[in-house]
Amino acid sequence: MGKLDFAPIADTTRRAEIVALLRRAILTGQLEPGQKLNELRIAEQMRVSRAPLREAMRELVQEGILTSIPYAGTFVIDVTAKDIDDAYSLNKVLDEFAIELSWPLRDQRFFDELDRRHEAVKQATRDLDTTRQIETALQLHGLIHEWADNSVLLETWQRLTSRLQMYFALHQRARNEPVPAEDVHEMYVRLLKGADMGAAQRHAREHIGLDFEELLAYARSLEQRCSEGANPDRPGPTRNRPDGS
């Protein structure tokens, strides 16, 4: 009866840890969009060779949060309003699909996990930990995708989530307010526990939509500010940080 399900042991390769470190730095906004990642400097800071660092960066490039230009460098992706809008509209479709798939699979464990994640959001809200608040809110929404029992969908959603988390973190950094409204989560959880699937799907659209509208407005303002002063013939990220530390 020793039915312990052991957690997979930690990937003890430097590459995996570097990926985690970099991803976290990007998703929390510590690395700004467009910023160039200097391999030598990062490798020295992490006390690691460039080989595993470069491999890690390739992974993040394919993950969509870094972009690489041969012989020029690797940069954090730029966030345009269109990107956010694109991600948002696709997210709506995926959410609807995930609810449809996971709906007949809901059971007690699902509801328990739903409550657990909801509680995590509320805890982060009480702690005023905005970064964790974003993280937990996205995990709350991710449950339907995890429960849908469709690996391709889950993978797709996780890829989307990376960007969304980055967007929200940026927004939160600009204005020091938490993005997701509290009581909307309450309704979301209640509808997922209910019997009306269509209502849940509709609510998912409306509710996430509200958050996104604000985010979009912010992104648009950023772009306007950017397009005023910058020379338009050079779309490449030329935001080089003078390292006068």
Partner DNA sequence: AGGAAGCAGATTGTCGACAATCTAACAAGA
Partner DNA sequence: TCTTGTTAGATTGTCGACAATCTGCTTCCT
Q: Catalog residues that contact DNA under the rule CB under 7 A.
A: 12-15, 36-40, 47-52, 54-55, 68, 70-74, 238, 240
d(CA 21, CA 244): 24
d(CA 61, CA 75): 9
- Shortest separation between residue 109's beta carbon and a second copy, angstroms: 19
Partner interacting with residue 163 (select from DNA, a second copy, none; CB below 5-8 Å by kind): a second copy
3-state secondary structure of 235: coil
Partner interacting with residue 39 (select from a second copy, DNA, none; CB below 5-8 Å by kind): DNA
3-state secondary structure of 36: strand
d(CA 183, CA 116): 16
Q: What is the maximum span of the chain, computed from C-alpha positions, in angstroms?
A: 68
Is 245 an interacting residue with respect to a second copy (CB under 8 A)? no
Is 89 an interacting residue with respect to a second copy (CB under 8 A)? yes
Q: Which of positions 3-42 make contact with a second copy (CB under 8 A)?
A: 5-6, 8, 11-13, 15-16
Nearer to a second copy, 12 or 227 (CB): 12
CB 139 within 8 A of CB 157: no
Nearer to a second copy, 128 or 152 (CB): 152
Report the residue from 108, 151, 176, 227 that binds a second copy according to the rule CB under 8 A: 151
Residue 145 CA to its chain's centroid (Å) = 14
Is 152 an interacting residue with respect to a second copy (CB under 8 A)? yes
Is 93 an interacting residue with respect to a second copy (CB under 8 A)? yes
- Shortest separation between residue 79's beta carbon and DNA, angstroms: 21
- Shortest separation between residue 165's beta carbon and DNA, angstroms: 25
3-state secondary structure of 190: helix
The residues, any chain, with a CB within 8 Å of residue 160's CB and separated by 6 or more, are: 87, 90, 91, 94
Report the residue from 17, 32, 78, 83 that binds a second copy according to the rule CB under 8 A: 83
**Helix residue ranges per DSSP H, the chain:** 14-27, 39-46, 50-63, 81-102, 108-127, 130-147, 151-174, 182-193, 197-229
Nearer to a second copy, 88 or 188 (CB): 88
d(CA 209, CA 143): 18
**Residues in touch with a second copy (CB under 8 A):** 5-6, 8, 11-13, 15-16, 51, 54-56, 58-59, 61-64, 70-71, 82-83, 86-87, 89-90, 93-94, 97, 101, 150-153, 155-156, 159-160, 163, 242, 244
